[in-house]
Structure 1
Amino acid sequence: MNPFIANGHLRDAALADLPHIVEIYNASIPGRMATADTDPVSVESRLIWFQEHHPQTRPIWVLERQGRIIAWISLSTFYGRPAYQGTAEFSLYIAPECQGQGIGTQLLQCLIERCPEFGVTTVLGFIFGHNTPSLRLSEKAGFERWGFLPGVAVLDGKLCDLVIMGRRV
C-alpha cells in the first residue's frame, strides 16, 4: 500500500478510529447524497459493522493528515453467501472540508490495486442516481453502470434511484 496519499498517511483502521469514521459518515447525512441513513448513527450502532471487517480480507482504511482522520474507505462483504466471496462493496467517505481535492480518486485507485490481495475480483458501488460526483468518481476509476433501481429509496419525501456500479479487478 502507498501509505502517503493526498498529503496524508493511509493505514488500517483501529477500533479507536471508529468515532472519527462515524463523524465523517454522519457529516454526509444532511446532504442526502451518499447514504440512505436519514439520522446520525452512533458509534455503538456501527460496532458490529466495524468488527465484520478484517485488514487481510475486508479492510477499512483511514486517511490521516496532520494527526486527524479526514477520510475512510472500506470493502464490505457482498450478500453474505459463499458464491459471492470474490465480490465486495466499497464505501468511501471524505470529511466535507477535504472534498474536491482528489482524495477519493487516490483512495479508490489504491483500493482497486490491492483487491487481489483480499481475494476480491469484483468491486461494486451502490450510488444514488443524483450523486453525480460519486458516479463520476467511480467511472473515472473504471467502473461501469451494471444496474439501475428506480425509486427504491425515499429521502425527504422524494423517490431516489440507486445505481449499481461495478468493476472487475
Structure 2
Amino acid sequence: MTRRLRPVGLDFIETAPLRLVFARKVTAPPEAVFRALAEDVAGWPEWFSAVTLARSTEDGAGRQIRLKGGTRFQETVIAAQPAEVYAYRVDETNAPGVRALVEEWRLTRDGTGTRVQWTWAADGTAAFRFAVKLGRPGLGRAFRDAVTKLERRLSSTHA
C-alpha cells in the first residue's frame, strides 16, 4: 500500500530525527558527478545496485524509483545546483513506518576530483528508526559500492 509522507524541505537534512551521512572521494569532477545524479536519472540502476528502476518525471522536477525487494518511491527534487547539490524528498512510498525522508548528494571539489557526501535524513516510527540504525552498515556499503561503480562508469565515458 502506497502512503503519502510529510512534505519537508531541504532544512530537514539538518533537523531530521534520524540522519545517516556517508562520504567518499572520486576522481571525476563535480560537474560529471552532478550530471550522473541529476540529468541521467535513468542510468542509476547501472551504478546503484539497489535501484532497479529510476525515471525522471514532471520534466525533471520529480523521480520515480524502485528498489530491489519491491520498495517504491515517488519523489520531488528539492535542490539541483549544478556541481554542488542534488536532493529529493520522498512524497509517496510503500515502505512501512517512514513518515518523512530526504536524500541529499553534496558535491565538493577536492583537488582534481570530488568529495561525494550522501545524507539520508528520515523520520518514522520507533520500529522504523530501529531498523534503519541496524541497517546503517548496509546503507554505508551500498553507498560505497554505488560511488565506486559510478566512478568507474564516469571514467570509462571520459576515457
Q: Quick check: TM above 0.5?
A: no
Normalising to structure 2: TM-score of the pair?
0.32
Normalising to structure 1: TM-score of the pair?
0.31
